[in-house]
Structure formats: C-alpha cells, structure tokens
Structure 1
Amino acid sequence: MTTTPMRIVHCVRSPIGGIFRHIRDLATSQAAAGHDVGLICDSSTGSAFDNQLLEELRPKLALGLARFPMQRQLTIKDMSATLSLYRHIRDLKADVLHGHGAKGGAYVRLIGSFLAMRGQKIARVYCPHGGSLHYDPNRLEGRVYHALERLMGRLTDGLVFVSDYEASAYESKIGLPRAKSRIVYNGLLPEEFAPVEVPDNAADFLYIGMLRDLKGPDLFIEALYNIRLKNGEAPKAHIVGEGPEEDRYRNMVTRLGLERAVTFHGALPAREAFKLAKTVVIPSRAEAMPYIILETVAAERPLIATRVGGIPEIFGRYAHRLVDPGHIGKLTTAMEAAIEDPAKMTKEAGELRGCLAETFSVDLMNDRITTLYQDIKGILPADGAVPVATDSASAASRAQAVYARSSNR
C-alpha cells in the first residue's frame, strides 16, 4: 500500500533503550515510505553508544534531529523547555506530532493543541511505553501522574499501545480512551531472526537492560549470591547496560563478594551481548512490551523472564514458564534449573521462537501506526485503499481480560 506523504515529528525525553529502538525503527520505515520525519529528544541523556545510534539515524530525518534539555520529573524548567520545543515545532509545519513516553507525550499534546488553536491541522498521537502507567494508583505520585494523563487525554487524537497489557493498564488507571486507539506490537527486522550461537566457554548468565531497579538487576545479583551460598561458587555472569543506579549495583557485587563472577559492560548491541552467556535473564518488576525479550526469543537464546507487562503476550501458550516478578526465591530456582539442564533450556528457546516473526515485525508495526495517522487526519492512502480501523471496544475488552489474568497470578 502506498501512502500520502506526511510530515511526522517524534518526540521523546530519553533516547535510550527499547523506547528509542521503537522510534528508530518507526522513523526509518516512515522515511523509507516517503514521509518527512523529524525527532526531538533530551540533550543530556545518552551514552556514547546511544549518541552513535542517534547520529546514524540523523541522515534519514528530513525534518532534522533536535535536542533540548528535558527533565525526567515535573519541574519549573518544563515551562522553558515547552517554549523552546514550541518554537522549533511551529516552524516544522508538521502533520503529525507523535509523543513517546510521559514527557514526550505531554510536550506534543500541549504544543499540538496550541498550534491547533492557531489554525494548524495537526494530529496529536501518544504512546505511553509504560511510563506513567507503571505508577501505583494508590500512591500520591501515581494519583498525580494519572490525573495529568486524564487531563492530557482531552488533548489527544490518537493512542498507540504496545501491548494488550498496556491498553488495559491505561483503561484501569486513566479511563476509557477518548481518542482513536490501536494496540501495535513492537517489531523486529527479518535479520534479527537468525539464531545466535555462543561459544562453549561462555558465562552462565547475562543480564541486559537499563541499570535501574524497575528492570531488576539487583534481583539478578542477589540470585547469583544465593546460588553461591548453596553451591559454594557463584555462576559466571555478565551485566550489560547503563543507568542511573550502576554504582549501587557495582557496590552490591563487591559487598556480596561476587567480583570474580560478575563482569560489567557498558551498552552493547543485543546480538553481540548474547554471545557472552548461555542464558539471558530479564528479571523486570514492570514492563510494557520489552524489545530485549523479543530480541532474545528471535535469536533463539535460552531465556528466564518475569510475568509482567506484555511479556506473557510474547510467550503465549508458554507463559507458564515465566517467573513471578520480585520473587527472588523463584528467580534463583529458575537460574539453578538452567544450569542443571541446559539442553532443556535450548529446546524451550526453539519452541518459543516459533511464531514470533509473523506477529512482531517492523513492517506491520509501521503500517498500523501510519494508517492510524491517516485515519485521524481523514486522508486516504495514495492508492485509494481505506485504512482499517481498530475496534476500540473489542480491543479494550480483550486488553482488560489480559490485565485481569495477569493481576490474578
């Protein structure tokens, strides 16, 4: 299907991790389809690895790559940041503003609404990527962020949820979407479905992800310590990633006497990191639809993961293999089982990979999001085909069922 060219601007606070992977793939596909694409993100976030990925994306961005100071938490500085972003976005004459994460979503919806008041016909699209939906609605911080999300819902034309779980979390914590909404799974490239082989002398375990408690690296380290207490020797392990709590995890490794067993790395490409160890461990406490799970499954690597967010949707009928989040005892047991029976882990990795390519593809992700833009703006594709709309009620009902099943486990 050919598409009518649009001017699309993506905005995200932190250009790192899975959220940036999603934007990078989407922007690349949209540019290849003939759209003019731009990206706005924070100027202070990101390692050398992340900045290199940004620079590789820059030539594909006809509307440019712009970086401004953006704070993670709500602060008075958000007012000056919003003004700076407004001046930049105003001159781009965008057809679509697509915000990713809570901060990116807030900026584009506020600015898009002001531009609409000045007569510019612009679509305001928001993808939470977890974000404020991770907050507990029974705590003050959660109540504040969820109230702001409800207000922002009035300024939203389109919502993209990366999993059924995320859609149900939005409905449960924020309310029924006022805007057109679609559940669009993150996608992988065809070459990512080639298996990754590891050498015989590889370490036992690999943690790969952001170094923050939400992702569970502390649980990973504690499980290694538990195995050492039981067996007298800790398994060899690698920790790949960067984040705000890295020093604390390094100190934890030292305090538990695991320096000889655990090696820290900075950020690495996932398929390169997979070669470091026999089993990947993703002990997250919360997720939306994590790319690292998709990448691990596609590479046919043995995987231990937790039952959070959209991960059960990836595992499908094998979701019973998932570990309860935050349960150090069950995580330790799963890691011990992986050491004892590597052949079983390899077999299960092959089974899990089965139908992934059909559901989680970049082309499908791009098509469903781009046709949502067209639906919002009321424009037909260049070949005259009518975009297929999502049955929001059906999606919400299905999402609520997934949320209820997950919550009851």
Structure 2
Amino acid sequence: MQHSAGNSEAPLRIVHVFRAPVGGLFRHVLDVTKGQIARGHAVGLIADATTGGETAEKRFADLRPHLSLGLMRLPIHRLPHPSDLPAAFAINRRIAALRPDVVHGHGSKGGVYARATGLFSGRESPVRIYTPHGGSLNYEPGSLSHRIFMAMEALLATRTDALLFESAFIASRFEEFVGNPKGLARIIPNGVSGEEFAPVQPQADAADLLYVGELRDAKGIDTLIDAMILLSRRGLTPRLLLIGGGPNRVVLQEQAQRAGLADRIVFGNPRPAREAFSLGRAMVVPSRFESLPYIVLEAAAAGVPLVATNVGGVPEIFGPYADRLIRPDNPEILADALARLLSQSPETLREEARALSAYVASRFSVSRMVDDVLQGYRDAIAARAAGH
C-alpha cells in the first residue's frame, strides 16, 4: 500500500467490490475501471459468481488481461444470507493480500464488504469509498427492511472515507434516512462516451414503443401493460417490444396474454442498448424507482424519443426538460402520455430528442466521471493522511 497524498500523479492500487455484474451498476464499474486503467492505475475487481451469465463472462474475459490486481468471483447473495460472513472473510483476505490504496464498494452488498476491509486482517486498511447506486436507499421508507438497512448504513458510515453519490437524489436520500455524511461526500453523475451521441435510427419494421431493461417490479412494466390495455380501449393499437430479462418475465407475459395483447406485446432477449434502440420508434421508461439510470442517459444521448416517469435521478438527466416527465405507477397518466407521443409527428419527436441529447452532452461525460472519481480518491487519501 502506498498512500500518495503528496503526489497527485502517482498511480494508485484500486479494488472495486460489487455484487451482480448486470445492469447500470456493472456498466458504471466497467467504465470507471477502464478509465482508471487507461490513466495508468492498477485495478482489480471482486464480484458475485452466480449472476451475469454469458454477457458478464465475455466482458470479464475482455477486461481480465488488463486487471493487474486480478478478478475474484465468489457467491454473493443480494439479501442477508448465512454465506455473508465467510464471503467477508474471503474478500478481506484478498484485499489484505493485494494491499490496495483504495477499496471502492458499489451497491449495498459491495459497500458492506468494502467497508469491512481491515476488520479481520489486522493490517493497515486502504481508504474505503462507497457509491450506493440506489441499493438499500430505494427500499420503501418506514418498512422494517428499510429501518434495518438504514441502521446498517449508519453503522458502516463510521468506516467510510468518502461517499461518491451518482445522483443528487441518492445523496438526498442518504442525508434524510442515514444522516449527514461524516467524511468527504461528492455527487459524481454517471457519464456516457462521445460515440454514444451518434443518433440511432429506427429500423423500417421497428415497434411503435420500446422498453429496454430488467423485468422486475421496480421498473413498472406492469403499469405499461395496463396502459396498453387503456390505449386499446381508445382504439389505439401500438406495438410494444420489451427487451430484457428478469424475475418478472413470466408474470408479465401472462399479464399480456390475459389482456388479449400477446400479439402486440412482444418479449425479446437482452441485447446491447444501441442495438435495441433501433428496434423501436420511441422508448418508454415506466419505473417506480431509479437512481440515475444509464438506459435513460444512453437513449437520450442517442436521440431516441422518450416517455419516462419522474422518479429518482431521472429529472437530473432531463434538466430543463423535466416537465416532460410523468407521475409513476399510474396507467391512466402513462396512457395519456403515450397517446400524445403517438399523435406527434416524427419531426417534432426528433426535435425534442435532439434538445435533450444536447443537454446530456453538456453534463454527463464518462471522462469527467472517471477524473472526478479519482480526485475523490486523492482527497480521501489526503484526509486520511492528515488524520481527519
């Protein structure tokens, strides 16, 4: 370990700890990891071994030759589980052997394991960084689970050198339910790369409406299907393509069949976002909960017309255009918004999409994200060295 408080250019040894190699959190870790490696830092990853499938395996295989601190995968459960303690011991031993300057935990479970560093090894601990990515902060306030997890967050906050929030929304949730951060705290938004701003044009046979993402309760796809039923009653018959996998796929397919819409609601398998965007003329994001969703950033950058709910950090992405967002979990409001979208000319939709893309380009840069994360590490190292 070589804390480099006095040298802002010295390469760092960095280990990222997270659970599932899927979704926006995984993209964030990969983007930050690649950027840190490109800037000359030594990086390692620790992640769950039971999720991610072939897509994760391929991404890890592509990245592994560049991970000078290696890749460790072991079973990590989403909720508290008897295997958590042996996993914590194994991760602690790994980190103690690597002797990094920084351990960066992502998501609730990654945050637990990263901030447990040093409890079992008896060695000097690296600075401990935490990015929640929503995680436990998105549980229903007042529920037993929420109270338990917020108590755990408050306890772990005493072992946190820096909190790097990906959205102002999650920063505000942390302050409301956990308390004021005791150490360094920054808001560093997720970013997208320059090539992602190339417009994606819909294919000739593209569906009228498109959803891309996980198929689970928080994403509100059941509300979207209910809105499709309402549109049908109004004499509107758009085609909807749902791209993604997840625990609710079968339930949602059954909902579409019961509604008599199986011919107009098609389920497709996961694929890269920009490839998926070409399969629809407009994208719907009916989420009940979000942090700062990459899929919205990616679609906005690519100039895809969007109907989205006003949840989490989505208004931060829309900025001056946040008045376009709608209330979540309401099929009638969603049906109204979709009907308006379907009635607009392609030129109007493209104009609105271009304006949002330009705003996203001005604020959400992957290069800036990587640089700001590294500066957060440097400042945390300096504060530790100064005894703060």
What TM-score, normalized by structure 2, do the two folds share? 0.94
CA contact (8 A) 1:137 1:146 kept: no
| Deviation of the 1:59 alpha carbon | 2.2
Per mean C-alpha deviation after superposition, the further-off stretch among 106-115 and 257-266 is 106-115
Secondary structure, aligned partner of 1:345: helix
Paired residues, what number? 376
After the TM superposition, which residues 51-62 of structure 1 pair with which residues of structure 2 at under 5 Å, given as runs? 51-62=57-68
Secondary structure, aligned partner of 2:117: helix
2:131 pairs with 1:127: yes
| Deviation of the 1:163 alpha carbon | 0.9
Query: 1:357 corresponds to which residue?
Result: 361
What TM-score, normalized by structure 1, do the two folds share? 0.89
2:66 pairs with 1:94: no
| Gap runs ≥5 in structure 1 | 380-409
| Deviation of the 1:345 alpha carbon | 2.1
| Deviation of the 1:2 alpha carbon | 7.2
- Change in CA separation of 1:370 and 1:230 when aligned onto 2, cut-off 3 Å: same
Q: Which amino acid aligns with 2:82?
A: I
Alignment match of 1:348 (pick from 341, 345, 352)? 352
Q: Deviations over 1:208-249 (max 9, x none)?
A: 111111011111222122211221x63111111111221111
CA contact (8 A) 1:10 1:23 kept: yes
| Deviation of the 1:121 alpha carbon | 4.2
2:242 pairs with 1:239: yes
CA RMSD of aligned residues (A): 1.5
Q: Which amino acid aligns with 2:371?
A: D
Query: 1:399 corresponds to which residue?
Result: none
Q: Which amino acid aligns with 2:317?
A: I
2:185 pairs with 1:181: yes
CA separation in 1, counterparts of 2:240 and 2:328?
A: 20
| Deviation of the 1:6 alpha carbon | 0.8
2:301 pairs with 1:301: no
| Deviation of the 1:66 alpha carbon | 1.2
| Gap runs ≥5 in structure 2 | 1-6, 384-388
Secondary structure, aligned partner of 1:38: strand
Query: 1:387 corresponds to which residue?
Result: none
Query: 2:117 corresponds to which residue?
Result: 111
Q: Deviations over 1:367-409 (max 9, x none)?
A: 1110111111129xxxxxxxxxxxxxxxxxxxxxxxxxxxxxx
Query: 1:202 corresponds to which residue?
Result: 206
Alignment match of 1:138 (pick from 135, 142, 146)? 142
Secondary structure, aligned partner of 2:17: strand
Query: 1:11 corresponds to which residue?
Result: 17
Identity %: 42
Q: Which amino acid aligns with 1:120?
A: E
2:195 pairs with 1:191: yes
Query: 2:229 corresponds to which residue?
Result: 225
CA contact (8 A) 2:18 2:109 kept: yes
| Deviation of the 1:113 alpha carbon | 4.7
Q: Which amino acid aligns with 2:207?
A: A
| Deviation of the 1:112 alpha carbon | 4.1
CA separation in 1, counterparts of 2:335 and 2:372?
A: 40
Alignment match of 1:283 (pick from 286, 292, 309)? 286
Alignment match of 2:90 (pick from 56, 78, 84)? 84
Secondary structure, aligned partner of 1:307: coil
Q: Which amino acid aligns with 1:29?
A: G
Query: 2:159 corresponds to which residue?
Result: 155
Secondary structure, aligned partner of 1:285: coil
Query: 2:4 corresponds to which residue?
Result: none
CA separation in 2, counterparts of 1:49 and 1:256?
A: 33
Q: Which amino acid aligns with 1:234?
A: T
Query: 2:49 corresponds to which residue?
Result: 43
Alignment match of 2:30 (pick from 24, 32, 50)? 24
CA separation in 2, counterparts of 1:318 and 1:251?
A: 35
Q: Deviations over 1:85-129 (max 9, x none)?
A: 1222221111111000000000010124545xx342411000000
| Deviation of the 1:54 alpha carbon | 2.4
Q: Deviations over 1:162-219 (max 9, x none)?
A: 1111111110111000120110010111100111111343110111111111011111
Per mean C-alpha deviation after superposition, the further-off stretch among 141-150 and 45-54 is 45-54
CA contact (8 A) 1:113 1:155 kept: no
Query: 1:73 corresponds to which residue?
Result: 79
Q: Which amino acid aligns with 2:213?
A: G
CA separation in 1, counterparts of 2:222 and 2:345?
A: 24
CA contact (8 A) 1:203 1:277 kept: yes
